[in-house]
Structures are given as C-alpha cells and as structure tokens.
Structure 1
C-alpha cells in the first residue's frame, strides 16, 4: 500500500527565466466542500494569481496539481521587461495586458494623482465661489445612512456652530452627525 503525500502541504516551485514561481493549493479547496482544486501561484514572492479546474479535492493528485501549475507561463513586461504572468486564458487570467504588477500600480497611482489634482482644483473654485457669496466655512461630512452606502456631502455655512452643522447632516439622513471636517474659507 502506498500513501499519498498530503496535498495541503504541497509546495511546487520552478524558475522560468527571471521569475521564481511557487504554487500551493488554495485554502478554499480544503475549506469549502465541493469547491474543487485551485492553486495560488506566486511570482517572485509578491504577485499572486489563482487558477483551478474544479476537480474534486478528494480525488486530486499531486500530478494533477503539477499539470495545473505547468499551465502557468511568464513573459517580460511590455514596459520594463520584468517578468509577469502570461495572460493566457487557459492558465492565469489577468487584466495586466502584458504589464507587471509594478507598472500597473505606477499607472494607477499616476491616474489617481491626476484625479486628486483635478478634484483639488475644482474644490478650490467652489470654495472661492462660496466665499464670494458670503459663506465663511466649508464642511465636508460623511453621511452614514441607516441602510446603503455612505457618501460625502460638501456644503458651505456662515458659521462653525456644531449643533447647526450636525442638524444639516441629520437632515441628509445620516445616523452619525459628528463625522465631518470644517474649514474656514
């Protein structure tokens, strides 16, 4: 009689050019009955993606895990040449479109910074308009609804009187009335 190595301890590794790939069976495969075989593959210790084939875990073998891992390929990032996951739909499905995690994050950070600057410019114009109309304070409040998503409510006042501000916030349906920031114009 042969004993099969426990799959929950299985760790597969391989080098693919400049990429070190490590595969382990996803905890979901063991935690949820009927979830099936799924592996999580780590690229150079930080970038992770999962793939699976819904094979029942009860009958999964190390060879099947290896075959799933063998489907994972890498390619050089089209911007910086660092290794990234190949976007082969038969293996790892990503939205990276040939870019590595760092280049994707750099692009997202750049877009977010541009959006933050645009927002700051628009807010400066609104504050100037509010001041020109005689308002003395800008209030940015988080409206916490009893049901539904919270949202930001910006308004102008002629006073920094907390009870007045909190009444205005309550009129918007907020169950919390003291979650706001006030700024003198």
Structure 2
C-alpha cells in the first residue's frame, strides 16, 4: 500500500514550485511531512480523520496545514479527509444527529422541516444543529484516536510479519553467518 500511495502522490518539488503554494512553501519544504514512517503516517491519519468529520468544507486544505504544523504526513492527512465524501456524507450526518440527540437527551425531539414559514425552518435547523455538532465531535475524536492506534498496530504487525518471513527464509541466519 505504501508503494502504491507513493507512486500516485504528486512530486514534492512540483508542489513546492506551484505559484499558489509559494506563500507557504517554507512550511511544505520540511522533509518530515513527506516521509512515510509510523509516526508521521499515524499523525496524518488522525489529523485527516478529525478534520474530515469536523469540517464540511475545506477539509483537505485545513488537514494539510495542520499536518505541516504537527509534522504529520501531508498526503496521508489529505487523503484521510475523504472519509466524508458525497456518498458517506448523509449517513454520517444522520448518525451524528442521532448520536448527539442521544447524548444530550433530546432523542424524542425531531426537527420538523415540513412547516411553511421560514421561522419554523430556522427553528428546526437550530434544534438539529447542536445534536449534530455533538455527534460529529464525538465521531471526530473517536475516529482520530482509533486511526492513530490502528496505524501503529498495523505497522507493528507488518514489521513482525516481515521478520517472520525473513526468519523462515533463512536470510537472517546467512547474514549472521557472514558476520562471524
């Protein structure tokens, strides 16, 4: 997966030469935000998931700026925001509304958007916005923590599997025999 992601990602020098990115190019030139290691990828996933759930618009830009500031992987942070896309947006926001309504105790109240005048529509939107915001914040925090932990666990299991394969193939034994 790492090789595929590196192959499809844009070249760092091309991005830094872009005239629109010149004002922040000094932030983007730091090599740590372009490396694919366990810590940077985990930070990028956590930041991208958090921003993806909290912000409905401008997610990729904000996640990239946060990743540059927190030294997370910039490309992974931008890609992780795509958890909320046009296909997943309605079910996520509905689930956030239901979860938030349950948490703040207004599960019995449902917004009545069928009324004719604007005052009732605004009242319905404001009554739905607080539970939705609470639900989205909960989703953002839980998904960021879970994404961070899963990247660390997945990376560790991947390394353990690689070591097992090396041990089974005898590559480590032949290396140690050559050193003696």
TM range (shorter): under 0.3
Higher relative contact order (CA 8 A, sep 6+): 2
Tell me which protein shows more helix as a share of its residues: 2
| TM-score between both structures, scaled by the size of structure 2 | 0.27
Structure number with greater Rg is: 1
TM-score, normalised to structure 1's length? 0.27
